[in-house]
Chain A
Amino acid sequence: DADVTQTPRNRITKTGKRIMLECSQTKGHDRMYWYRQDPGLGLRLIYYSFDVKDINKGEISDGYSVSRQAQAKFSLSLESAIPNQTALYFCATSDSRQVDTQYFGPGTRLTVL
């Protein structure tokens, strides 16, 4: 089984809808991250969490919110989706004892019509 899983893998939604992307990990890592990938732009950090009670904004947090429900779960919400949030979204985890190496999930392809 994969160490970092993301659900759903693909999602098509309409402008204005609320949507939640979920991430779970079995690696036992304390740190979790959400990134967005757009064609030609690499990966950009949306939010990150160093433990259950710690949430931090990344480079492009506007229009997004997150929830760290447990050490193993980190969800990303789009309260009112807009077309320019169409992208590939990746969750990642890392161990605070080896902080610089992050392990990524398979990604969620989100399309906002």
Chain B
Amino acid sequence: DQQVKQNSPSLSVQEGRISILNCDYTNSMFDYFLWYKKYPAEGPTFLISISSIKDKNEDGRFTVFLNKSAKHLSLHIVPSQPGDSAVYFCAASGLGQAGTALIFGKGTTLSVSS
């Protein structure tokens, strides 16, 4: 059973607007969450992360929110730019989860139109 779920395979947003990508998890042992961005023909690149002791982390245009009670996190991109068009993976890690190996969601493809 999937422990990290990204239920929206795709999202389309206009340039300048907000993009919200969602991720749900099932295992309460996860204590660290990350977002990766992936362009075609490239490996995933680290974008932003959040510890389970926080509920928000911000880095420039990117903000990740964590709701532990709902086992839900989201990535907000404001304002969205065409260069943000990529596949976004949510990932989680924690004790007992293959050491510190990451558990990934299936990804959400974001398309930002100008």
Q: A105-B43, A106-B43, A107-B42 are in contact. Are A100 and B32 (CB under 8 A)?
A: yes
In the assembled complex, the CB of A39 is this many whole angstroms from the nearest CB of chain B, namely 10
Q: Whole-angstrom distance from the CB of B93 to the nearest CB of chain A?
A: 5
Contact between A104 and B98 (Cβ–Cβ < 8 Å)?
A: no
Asked if B25 is at the interface (CB within 8 A of a chain A CB), the reply is no
Please indicate the chain B residues that have their CB under 8 angstroms from the CB of A42 in the complex.
Answer: 4, 6, 89, 104-107
Interface residues of A, CB < 8 Å — how many? 27
Please name all residues of chain B whose beta carbon is closer than 8 Å to the beta carbon of A102 when the two chains form the complex: 46, 102
User: How many chain-B residues does the 8 Å CB contact rule pick out?
Assistant: 25
Q: Is the CB of B43 within 8 A of A94?
A: no
B66 to chain A, nearest CB (A): 14
Closest Cβ of chain A to B16, distance in Å, is 29
Smallest beta-carbon distance B28→chain A, Å: 17
User: What total of A-B pairs shows CB separation below 8 Å?
Assistant: 61
Interface of B is mostly: loop
- Is B34 at the interface (CB under 8 A from chain A)? yes
Interface string of A40-71 (1 = CB under 8 A from B): 11111100101000001011000000000000
B53 at the A interface (CB under 8 A): no
Contacts of A43 in B (CB 8 A): 44, 89, 102, 104
Residue of B nearest to A35 (CB): B104
Specify which chain A residues have a CB less than 8 angstroms from the CB of B19 in the assembled complex: none
Please report A residues at the B interface, Cβ cutoff 8 Å. 4, 31, 33, 35, 40-45, 48, 50, 56, 58-59, 90, 92, 94, 99-107
Q: A42-B104, A106-B43 known; 10 other A-B pairs, CB under 8 Å? A: A41-B106, A45-B102, A45-B103, A90-B44, A92-B43, A99-B93, A100-B32, A100-B93, A101-B49, A107-B42
